[in-house]
Chains A and B, each alone.
Chain A
Amino acid sequence: MIRYLVRRLPSLAMVLGAASLLIFGVIRLIPGDPASILAGPDAGPDTIAAIRHELGLDQSLPAQYAHWLGGVLTWNLGRSYIIGGDISSLLGAGAGNTVLLTSASLVIAVAVAVIAGPLWASTRRPWLEHLLTGVNTLAIALPAFVTGVLLILLLGVLLPVLPSGGVPPDGLLADPTITVQYLLMPATCLALPLAAVLARYLAESLRTEMSQPYVATALAAGVSRRRIVTRHALRNVLPTSLTVLGLQIGTLLGGAVLVETVFAWPGLGQLIEQAIIMRDYPVVQVLLLLSVGVFVVIQLLTDVVHALLDPRIRLGGAR
């Protein structure tokens, strides 16, 4: 296992290195620069020049890249140009919120999928199947900002049982029961499309699994359908489902941009959107690199967990 992980390291570093160069270059290709954002619409060109110098934007590109990369490698991320504050603390605050939000919605999505998927696959009642198909369609069709606004209207304004946005005023850790209430709506909203995709995938895989010969044998032997689904079929389809989940976590992070905006949840999604709009280069660079890093690590993890769940796969085995 460890040997396998070590073997993956060079390719991991390669992806991150290429990504860092790509990120650094592409963000500078986007027209508009941080100095003019800072200066604002009433500024003259001389002001811009002064600000460019202040930010170090008048240095050569290789020098700027080397400076940034050096900073990242020594975990000295530097200061934000525009949003303000030093980047590691910006990142810390945002990451805490986003990790909480995404993991909560991951839990919700998996819970929903694990209940709805098998139900969908094993039900023989047409109305239930139609209902599940309908709900599934809606969950995929409604964009997060629509479900968000509807949820807020319903549970925040008309029937005020949950806070309609923001984070707990005294911080996430002050009182978990309060935090849960703030978290419930945005996490549900973010979880819905993922839950729908997972449930659908699980249901389809289970149906396929149910057409395997051993199922017919078991059915003939008088084992109940539900028992076959939960005890045998589910176990067999879990590894591939996990892979799907791993890939979908990326979409979760993307969806966070919308959900965080709608619920005023100050996470990394909002931070990166703002940073790009304001051309806050150092913040964008670090966040994008982080996102690539997280993705690569998640891929690695799914591979490892996949192998653990399914003994047929040997890590690093020859093709």
Chain B
Amino acid sequence: MTDTTVAGAAAVPGSEPPSGDVPVIAAGNAPAFPGRRRTPLLRGRGLTGLILVAAVIVAGVAAPLLAPYAPEEQIRNANLLGPSWQHLLGTDEVNRDVLSRTLYGIRVDALIVFIAVPAGAVLGSLAGVVSSQFAVADVVTQRVFDVLLAFPALILAIGLTAVTGPGAVPIGVVVVALELPLFGRLVRTATLAVRELPFVRAAEAMGAPRSWVLRRHVLPNVAEPVLVQLALSMSGAVFIDSAMNFIGIGVRPPTPSLGSVLAASVANLHSNPMYAVGPLIVIAVLVLGCQLIAQALTADRRRAGA
């Protein structure tokens, strides 16, 4: 293995080659399904995670039905009110209902989490597969990844928004730029590892075409670590949104996002302590959901013995 392969083993629990055909030892009390593997997302932790994430999405989609006010409506004489029956989470510094803004705010973050992160994952994975196949592409992509990884995310964000102006799109681009090298390295490492396996080597030695090996052996083995990383990356993406809003380069006002509501709440915690609570709950639920999904996926992998 080369140096970069080693460095690339990022955040891939169990991405090392399996140590052969061994009997599976069921960890924990969930039953194992030898032979017939049901998807881990429809039971136990995985299901809980899925429900949590779905709940957040539903809240965002159904915001017009759930929210008591329009997200941008400035209510007369309602400056930084504390929580009341009329405004469950109080009002903000421009007299808007915080609950309504939180619900509508989910939409921007949903786009970031469910479009930008997967987009980064797909692009990164493609780059990873390509670089694992061609030596020249490998050198180029590895160096590009190095440079991308070397810049702290927020610095990248400050630079980018200075050019484009703030908005949801630059946040998405930053997220993509962040995920790209992560997935690239992950897929590259996993692919190379799979190709080292005895049966894959044997297949190649017998003259199996490269594309067949990729499809038949590499993809199934790479898909799982990618899914796990995807779930983890999704939980981290909201962080980029709130951090960017905190330093004043988030979504374009008056559009709300979870991060923009949270960032604005910090300056007003003394007046309306409930201000921060709404977005924090939503973010926590989202993160917990993603984490549970990731855990379920890895646990499943472990049981399957690979």
A207 partner residues in chain B, CB cutoff 8 A: 13, 27, 298-299, 302
B162 partner residues in chain A, CB cutoff 8 A: 30-32, 276
A27-B159, A30-B163, A146-B266 are known contacts. Are A15 and B7 too (CB-CB below 8 A)? no
B-contacting residues, A116-138, CB 8 Å: 133-134, 136-138
What are the interface flags for A260-300 relative to B under an 8 Å C-beta threshold, 1 for contact and 0 otherwise?
01000000010011001100000000001001100110010
Flag if A303 contacts B284 (CB, 8 Å). no
A145-B246, A319-B1 are known contacts. Are A247 and B146 too (CB-CB below 8 A)? no
Which one of A29, A146, A201, A288 has the highest number of Cβ atoms from chain B below 10 Å of its Cβ? Answer: A146
Considering the chains assembled together, what is the distance between the CA atoms of A319 and B131 in angstroms? 14
Flag if B242 contacts A143 (CB, 8 Å). yes
Considering the chains assembled together, what is the distance between the CA atoms of A277 and B280 in angstroms? 29
Considering the chains assembled together, what is the distance between the CA atoms of A273 and B15 in angstroms? 37
Flag if B147 contacts A19 (CB, 8 Å). yes
**Which one of A34-42, A81-89, A209-217 contacts B?**
A209-217
A-contacting residues, B4-37, CB 8 Å: 5-7, 9-16, 19, 22-25, 27
Counting chain A residues whose Cβ lies within 8 A of the other chain, the interface size class is 35 or more
A291 partner residues in chain B, CB cutoff 8 A: 150-152, 155
Which one of B10, B151, B295, B302 has the highest number of Cβ atoms from chain A below 10 Å of its Cβ? Answer: B151
Q: Does A158 contact B (CB under 8 A)?
A: no
A313 partner residues in chain B, CB cutoff 8 A: 1, 6
CB distance from B6 to the nearest CB of A (A): 5
A140-B235, A258-B154, A272-B155 are known contacts. Are A295 and B146 too (CB-CB below 8 A)? yes
B9 partner residues in chain A, CB cutoff 8 A: 240, 243
CB distance from A14 to the nearest CB of B (A): 7
Flag if B152 contacts A143 (CB, 8 Å). no
A8 partner residues in chain B, CB cutoff 8 A: 3
Q: Does A80 contact B (CB under 8 A)?
A: no
Among B155, B246, B276, contact of A254 (Cβ-Cβ < 8 Å)? B155
Flag if A215 contacts B25 (CB, 8 Å). yes
Flag if A319 contacts B152 (CB, 8 Å). no
Among A22, A32, A288, A317, contact of B1 (Cβ-Cβ < 8 Å)? A317
Flag if A277 contacts B158 (CB, 8 Å). yes
CB distance from B111 to the nearest CB of A (A): 19
Flag if A246 contacts B7 (CB, 8 Å). yes
Considering the chains assembled together, what is the distance between the CA atoms of A195 and B15 in angstroms? 21
Can you give 28 contacting A-B residue pairs, CB < 8 Å? A11-B143, A18-B143, A19-B150, A29-B163, A31-B162, A31-B163, A134-B288, A136-B291, A137-B287, A140-B291, A145-B243, A145-B266, A146-B266, A207-B27, A207-B302, A210-B25, A211-B24, A212-B22, A246-B7, A251-B153, A269-B152, A273-B154, A276-B159, A276-B162, A296-B150, A302-B6, A307-B6, A317-B1
Question: A residues within 8 Å of B by Cβ?
Answer: 8, 11, 14-15, 18-19, 22, 26-27, 29-32, 133-134, 136-138, 140-146, 149, 153, 193, 197, 200-201, 204-205, 207-208, 210-213, 215-216, 240, 243-244, 246-247, 250-251, 253-254, 256-258, 261, 269, 272-273, 276-277, 288, 291-292, 295-296, 299, 302-303, 306-307, 313, 315-317, 319
Q: Which 7 A-B pairs have the closest CB atoms?
A: A254-B152, A295-B150, A204-B13, A292-B150, A141-B287, A208-B14, A30-B162
List 18 extra interface pairs beyond A32-B162, A145-B242, A288-B155, CB under 8 A: A15-B146, A31-B163, A141-B286, A201-B13, A204-B13, A205-B13, A207-B302, A211-B305, A213-B22, A243-B10, A250-B150, A251-B153, A254-B153, A276-B162, A303-B3, A307-B6, A315-B3, A319-B5
